[in-house]
């Protein structure tokens, strides 16, 4: 199979209904597992798991057996499964009952064309807690800590108005265009339609200018849009087998037990013929990958052009920092902004992070100004590099379409992180830390010894990362990778603190005080022994050392 499952709003709505019946009320792990193969797995009670394979060459969702599900803390419950009208988005609302860490969050599955993604969203703060594919897309920042904004809604005609008004709009919109153009007009205007189902819904109205045929087409759309004619089929489309809630005209459509069962069939058929798939789609796959590289280079140029309009932003941010530093007693605790008297006699609104103190907000503005200043200084060089990169991938795509593959393409398409890893560490070299991953998907690094602690803190941690250590006792330095403004998600911070407590001399204590701060506030005193540091500022969290947490978070 060379093409993934195609999701349209009709399939998403029907799939959400099946998942609602199968999952609502069931116990589950509080956070799903995000894996490098672009899969999202949510362990459930009964030894099952909900698994979304969101790789561009797969795309199916399955309820699978999961032996590890019983080992997890299934303290959460799926309280709601929903899908917004006429959207390609499924949301699972999850309530964690633990009274110390209780709260609501949502697992959001976005199924928009080639931008499939899975995110855990804090339902209260509407912040992204963790994400399968962290990136910037369509003007949205899909990264941990960023505000979650759903994709723009389709805003097409829904069956939520009087029938007579809908019939009139249907006739006006489709009767005014030639029959051959009606499928496109239908998809552009009316909810729950797509290139997959447009021909089946229009029927004879797509082949002849007949008002009676248009009226019959409206009845079919009305039934489908209102949810009256949904079933489960496996449709043999030219692109491959497709689970779908309708039988589609002109294609073999075999009734399935459910859409999930149809998904199982697609996954099984793909697994049964891996050799054939690779042989028949090697060059198209290579061309697709090159075109994705070209698209990425073009997006980078667009981002740089957008940044060009922000020249001078560094000076503005630095000025806000100066202004805030001159009025540190003005901001009220917890406020998102403050209006201050400007140096020119005007009033200036200064944005604040409510979780930070005034002088910390000033430092944050200075840091942003430094980053903007560096970016502005490098802008001409970056733009030139981006244009060279775009031209290189554009030439490669044209060569492959002619049947010629440049020698450099295969090596350039290898994962950059694998090349970097080989270049940075000699064979057999040992990192100074153990690796863990929190329930929210954040990386945690734990120092192996006193000497390794120094290497971890000052050589393998970014200034914005969160640094933790058990208070007043010897123990490992712990680094939680987190570069966003404000504190990391509470659960991730707590789990990192549990690791700091576990890897300390206070492991046998009932409760351990763990200090945490940004790595930039950690200093190495002159002449101090290995592992000894001082903190400019810190906060404290109290946790219980827990071997089960250490085992669950360990990266094997």
3-state secondary structure of 550: helix
548 vs 70, which has greater pLDDT? 548
425 pLDDT above the threshold of 70: no
Report the alpha-carbon distance of residue 315 to residue 321 in Å, rounded: 10
Roughly what angle, to the nearest 10 degrees, separates helices 163-175 and 182-189?
Answer: 140
The pLDDT mean for the chain works out to 85
Among 94-98, 503-507, 517-521, whose mean pLDDT is lowest? 94-98
At residue 243, the pLDDT reads: 95
At residue 384, the pLDDT reads: 81
Q: CB of 197 within 8 A of CB of 8?
A: yes
Nearest to 159 by CA among 123, 191, 111, 204: 191
Give the ranges where 427-489 is alpha helix by DSSP (H): 450-459
Among 75-84, 143-152, 220-229, 427-436, whose mean pLDDT is lowest? 427-436
426 pLDDT above the threshold of 70: no
69 band by pLDDT with thresholds 50, 70 and 90: low
Average pLDDT over residues 65-75: 72
Give the bridge partners for 513, in sequence order: 542
What element of type H or E holds 39?
A: strand 39-43
**DSSP character for 74?**
-
Q: CB of 340 within 8 A of CB of 327?
A: yes
At residue 115, the pLDDT reads: 79
Phi, psi at 86, each rounded to 5° = 60, 35
Q: Two tokens at 543?
A: 């946790």
Domains of the chain: 9-142 (2.30.310.10), 163-274 (no CATH), 308-423 (no CATH), 433-553 (no CATH)
74 band by pLDDT with thresholds 50, 70 and 90: confident
283 pLDDT above the threshold of 80: no
101 pLDDT above the threshold of 60: no
Q: Two tokens at 144?
A: 């941990």
415 pLDDT above the threshold of 50: no
Report the alpha-carbon distance of residue 92 to residue 336 in Å, rounded: 30
Report the alpha-carbon distance of residue 288 to residue 282 in Å, rounded: 10
Report the alpha-carbon distance of residue 391 to residue 413 in Å, rounded: 16
**Of the ranges 47-61, 195-209, 356-370, 466-480, the best mean pLDDT one:** 466-480
Phi, psi at 522, each rounded to 5° = -105, 130
**DSSP character for 362?**
H
Q: What is the pTM of this model?
A: 0.53
At 399-408, the pLDDT tens digits run 877 767 777 7
At residue 190, the pLDDT reads: 95
Average pLDDT over residues 203-231: 86
Q: CB of 524 within 8 A of CB of 458?
A: yes
Give the bridge partners for 443, in sequence order: 437
At residue 282, the pLDDT reads: 42
| The dihedral sign for the CA sequence 298, 302, 305, 307 | negative
Q: Two tokens at 64?
A: 């699978």
At residue 260, the pLDDT reads: 94
At residue 58, the pLDDT reads: 86
Report the alpha-carbon distance of residue 450 to residue 531 in Å, rounded: 5
194 pLDDT above the threshold of 80: yes
416 pLDDT above the threshold of 50: no
At 231-256, the pLDDT tens digits run 899 999 877 889 999 998 888 999 99
The proportion of the chain whose per-residue pLDDT surpasses 90, expressed as a percent, equals 39
At residue 428, the pLDDT reads: 44
Nearest to 49 by CA among 64, 32, 68: 64
Q: How far is CA 349 from CA 317, 369, 475, in A?
A: 12, 17, 44
Buried b (16+ CB within 10 A) or exposed e, 423-433: eeeeeeeeebb
Nearest to 28 by CA among 120, 116, 110, 117: 120
At 432-486, the pLDDT tens digits run 999 999 988 899 999 998 889 999 999 899 888 999 999 989 999 999 998 777 7
377 pLDDT above the threshold of 90: no
At residue 99, the pLDDT reads: 44
**Of the ranges 109-113, 176-180, 226-230, 501-505, the best mean pLDDT one:** 501-505
CA contacts within 13 A on the Cβ side of 537: 6
Q: Two tokens at 357?
A: 């103190």
Q: Two tokens at 213?
A: 């045929």
Q: CB of 242 within 8 A of CB of 6?
A: yes
At 28-39, the pLDDT tens digits run 988 898 987 889
229 band by pLDDT with thresholds 50, 70 and 90: low
Average pLDDT over residues 539-545: 91
509 C-beta neighbours (distance < 10 Å), count: 14
Q: CB of 440 within 8 A of CB of 489?
A: yes
Do strands 478-480 and 512-518 pair parallel, antiparallel, or not at all (unpaired)?
Answer: unpaired
């Amino acid at each position: 199979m060379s093409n993934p499952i195609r999701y349209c709003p009709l399939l998403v709505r029907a799939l959400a209904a099946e998942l609602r019946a199968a999952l609502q009320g069931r116990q589950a792990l509080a956070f799903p597992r995000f894996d490098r193969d672009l899969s999202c797995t949510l362990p459930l009670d009964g030894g099952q798991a909900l698994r979304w394979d969101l790789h561009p060459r797969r795309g199916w969702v399955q309820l699978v057996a999961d032996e590890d599900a019983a080992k997890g803390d299934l303290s959460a419950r799926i309280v709601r499964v929903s899908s917004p009208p006429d959207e390609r988005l499924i949301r699972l609302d999850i309530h964690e009952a633990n009274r110390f860490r209780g709260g609501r969050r949502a697992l959001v599955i976005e199924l928009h064309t080639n931008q499939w993604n899975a995110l855990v969203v804090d339902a209260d703060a509407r912040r992204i807690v963790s994400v399968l594919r962290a990136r910037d897309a369509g003007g949205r920042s899909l990264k941990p800590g960023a505000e979650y904004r759903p994709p723009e809604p389709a805003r097409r005609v829904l069956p939520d108005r009087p029938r007579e008004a809908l019939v009139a709009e249907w006739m006006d919109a489709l009767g005014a265009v030639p029959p051959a153009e009606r499928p496109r007009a239908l998809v552009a205007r009316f909810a729950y339609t797509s290139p997959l189902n447009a021909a089946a819904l229009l029927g004879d109205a797509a082949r002849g200018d007949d008002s009676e045929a248009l009226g019959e087409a409206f009845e079919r759309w009305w039934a489908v849009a209102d949810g009256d004619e949904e079933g489960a089929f496996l449709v043999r489309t030219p692109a491959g087998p497709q689970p779908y809630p309708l039988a589609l005209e002109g294609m073999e459509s075999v009734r399935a037990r459910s859409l999930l069962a149809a998904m199982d069939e697609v996954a099984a058929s793909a697994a049964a013929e891996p050799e054939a798939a690779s042989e028949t789609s090697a060059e198209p796959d290579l061309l697709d990958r090159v075109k994705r590289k070209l698209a990425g280079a073009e997006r980078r140029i667009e981002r740089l052009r957008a940044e060009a309009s922000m020249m001078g932003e560094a000076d503005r941010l630095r000025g806000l920092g100066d202004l805030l530093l001159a009025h540190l007693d003005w901001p009220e605790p917890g406020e998102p902004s403050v209006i201050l008297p400007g140096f020119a006699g005007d009033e200036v609104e200064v944005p604040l992070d409510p979780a930070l103190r005034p002088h910390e907000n000033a430092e944050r503005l200075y840091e942003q100004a430094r980053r903007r200043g560096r970016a502005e200084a490098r802008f001409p060089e970056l733009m030139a590099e981006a244009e060279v990169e775009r031209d290189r991938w554009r030439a490669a795509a044209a060569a492959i379409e002619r049947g010629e593959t440049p020698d450099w393409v295969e090596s350039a398409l290898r994962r950059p992180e694998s090349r970097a890893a080989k270049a940075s560490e000699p064979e057999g070299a040992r990192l100074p830390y153990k690796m863990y991953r929190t329930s929210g998907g954040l990386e945690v690094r734990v120092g192996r010894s006193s000497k390794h602690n120094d290497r971890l803190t000052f050589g393998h941690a970014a200034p914005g990362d969160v640094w933790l250590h058990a208070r007043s006792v010897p123990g490992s330095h712990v680094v939680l990778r987190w570069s966003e403004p404000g504190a990391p998600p509470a659960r991730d911070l707590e789990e990192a603190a549990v690791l700091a407590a576990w890897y300390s001399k206070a492991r046998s204590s009932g409760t351990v005080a763990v200090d945490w701060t940004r790595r930039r506030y950690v200093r190495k005193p002159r002449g101090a022994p290995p592992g000894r540091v001082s903190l400019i500022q810190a906060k404290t969290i109290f946790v219980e050392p827990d071997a089960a947490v250490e085992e669950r978070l360990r990266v094997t």
